[in-house]
Every structure is written in structure tokens, then in C-alpha cells.
Amino acid sequence: MSGLNNCQSCKDVLTTVVDPDTQVSSTVVTKYYKHIGADTCGTSCPTGQFIDSAVSFFCQPCSPECKACQNTAKTCLDASSCNAGYFFFSSNNNCLAVCPDGFYANTSTITCTPCHPGCALCKGGSLTQCTACKIDDVTDPSTPVTYFKKISVSQCTTVCDAGQYEDPTDFLCKYCHNTCSECLDASENCTSCKNVSGIVYFLYNPNDENQCVQVCPDGFYGQKSTNKCMPCDGRCKLCTGPSNDSCSECQSAMVNSVSVSHYLVYNTKVCSDTCPDGQYADATTKKCLMCDSNCKTCQTSSKNCLSCNLT
């Protein structure tokens, strides 16, 4: 760096140069700039100062975060030109106290270093150092991968732990409802159920809306081995198992496209469309009730005998 000492101000120096071949003369302009804090004019500025093309004859100070800069006060040269506590961001050659989203302060290189592509915020370059997650459309743009922040852990994952679900609205893993052992898309959209404090819950899926319920609705029974509501036999309104001998209440069922009433046979768990001798079909209770002792067969009421017992 050439310089002139004991200067109070600086100016351009014009020099006439003659081309030895053509003997054509031209004027060369050498620009000088006043150094900050010194009586020196130089063709360049010392470290910590820069030449601003919009300001003639004076060196300009770099910003406090830069040891050295060029063209503008905040355009630092490289990581070594950042002052302590600042990190070089190569996208705009700035030294930053806080790196932008998607980058972390790398104390080894003194740079703002990119997070893993699945991390929106991070403390390091791996998926185990993430504090917020996002879609990775960088690694393979043709197949974007969505990452979710694990609960209570600085880590992004594509699949949340058991008992949690992936929420794509904020890229977080969230807990399923406490009755769900697993769920999908929402806390109460259960795909399997569990027992809570000794209470058994069963998976019920009306209209593709998965629920865990203590009591299965009419037409279903709770299967404890799977924690699922399973369908009763079509003749059973209420049941404790899948067959027609596990009914506790009956209902009409379609037989050859015709709705046929069924009745709970007395002292059994069987639903039948006819009652045996000695019983009659009660339309109100959907049960076979006992005929009067004098009746061998009856209908509509216990004493309305169709045939009698011989005495």
C-alpha cells in the first residue's frame, strides 16, 4: 500500500503517459484516500477501513463486526475478518452475531454453516441437533421428505415414536390421546387402543373416524384380545361375541332381502326368527317369553293359547 505522510487532505494525481509505439499520450488518474486517524493519503485503505466509490478522497470505517471489509462497511472479506462473537455468512459476506434460519454458528470455522436440509433451525449440522424441522426438498428435489421435531429432544425424524403422531402443520411430533396406543394425523384419530387405569378401551371406526371407546355401540362387542369393537352376528343387537349364541338382545335381520324379526330364546343367548313350543314372540321386548303352563303353544301373550297341554 503506497502512502503519503503528513497530509491534511488528499486529491487525485494525474500522470501523462506516452505510448512508445504510437506516441499517443493519455492521462492516468491515481486516486488517493485519507486514512482515518492518520495524516496519510494512500491508494488503498488500511485494515478496518474501505474505499467507498461514492465518497472521494476519504477511507470509510468498516462496521464494528468486521476487522476488514471492502466496498461497503458490512461486506467483510472472510471468516478471519469477523470480530469475536460474529460469524461469517457467505451469502452476503456479512459477519453476524446470530445466523439466519437454516444455519448455525459454527465455532470451529467461524462461519454460519447450513443445517441439515430437514432442519429449519439447528445447533449443528446433523438431524440430532435440530430445534425445528421442515420439508427436505434439497437432497432429492424429485422426492421431498418431511421431517418432524421429536418431543423433548433436539432431533428431526420422518416417523414419530409410538404413541405420537406427525403433525404436518407445524412439523412437530405430538402425543396421541391417552386412550390411543397409536394414532394418525390427530390425537384422537386412533389406530389402536390401550387400557388406562384398568379400564379397557376398544377401537371403533364409524365413517373412517377412529375412536377409542369404553363401550362398543349396538351391533358390536369389545374384543379384549385386540382392543377392538368387532361386529355381532347380524341377528344380535347386543352381544358378547361374534356368533348367534352370544346375543343379549336381538334385532331384525335381512333374510333373502326381506327384514325378518328375531327374538331372544328364553333362558338362552340365541336369536331366532321363531320361538320354540311353550314360548311366544314378544314384539316389544324382542324376546321369546313363556306361555302359560296350560298352553303347549301360544302367541302374542302367555294365555293366548294355540294348543293346550294334556293334563
Is 153 contained in some domain?
Answer: no
What pLDDT was estimated at residue 311? 65
Q: Per-residue confidence of the chain (311 residues) as pLDDT tens digits?
A: 456 788 888 888 888 888 888 888 888 888 899 999 999 999 999 999 999 988 889 999 999 999 999 999 999 999 999 999 999 999 999 999 999 999 999 999 999 999 999 999 999 999 999 999 999 999 999 999 999 999 999 999 999 999 999 999 999 999 999 999 999 888 889 999 999 999 999 999 877 778 999 999 999 999 999 999 999 999 999 999 999 999 999 999 888 888 999 999 999 999 999 999 999 999 999 999 999 999 999 999 999 999 998 76
CA distance 48 to 231: 81
- Same domain? 223 vs 283: no
| The pairing of beta strand 33-34 with beta strand 40-42 | antiparallel
Which of 231, 247, 265 terminates a domain? The answer is 231
- Whether this model's pTM surpasses 0.85: no
Is 102 contained in some domain?
Answer: no
Q: Which amino acid is at 179?
A: T
Tell me which residue range forms the domain holding 252. 233-311
CA distance 130 to 120: 8
What pLDDT was estimated at residue 185? 87
Whichever domain contains 246, its CATH number is 2.10.220
What pLDDT was estimated at residue 35? 94
Which of 61, 88, 110 terminates a domain? The answer is 61
The residue among 79, 69, 136, 71 whose CA lies nearest residue 102 is 136
- Same domain? 266 vs 193: no
Q: What residues contact residue 172 under an 8 Å CB cut-off, 6+ apart? A: 133, 148, 149, 151
- Same domain? 253 vs 212: no
Tell me the CA end-to-end span of the chain in Å, nearest whole number.
136
Number of domains, the chain = 3
Instruction: Let me know: does 117 contact 93? Beta carbons within 8 Å.
Output: no
Which of 61, 82, 104 terminates a domain? The answer is 61
Count how many Cα atoms sit within 13 Å of the Cα of residue 259 in the half-sphere of its side chain. 2
What pLDDT was estimated at residue 3? 64
Distances in whole angstroms, Cα of residue 143 to Cα of each of 109, 140, 165, 169: 32, 5, 22, 19
Is 196 contained in some domain?
Answer: yes
The residue among 172, 166, 155 whose CA lies nearest residue 189 is 166
- Same domain? 254 vs 310: yes
- Same domain? 263 vs 212: no
Q: What is the dihedral of CA 122, 128, 132, 135, to 10 degrees?
A: 110
Q: What is the dihedral of CA 240, 241, 244, 248, to 10 degrees?
A: 0
Is 172 contained in some domain?
Answer: no
- Same domain? 215 vs 243: no
CA distance 189 to 180: 8
**Owner of C-alpha cell 293366548:** 304
- Same domain? 250 vs 308: yes
What pLDDT was estimated at residue 24? 85
Q: What residues contact residue 223 under an 8 Å CB cut-off, 6+ apart? A: 202, 229, 230
Is 123 contained in some domain?
Answer: no
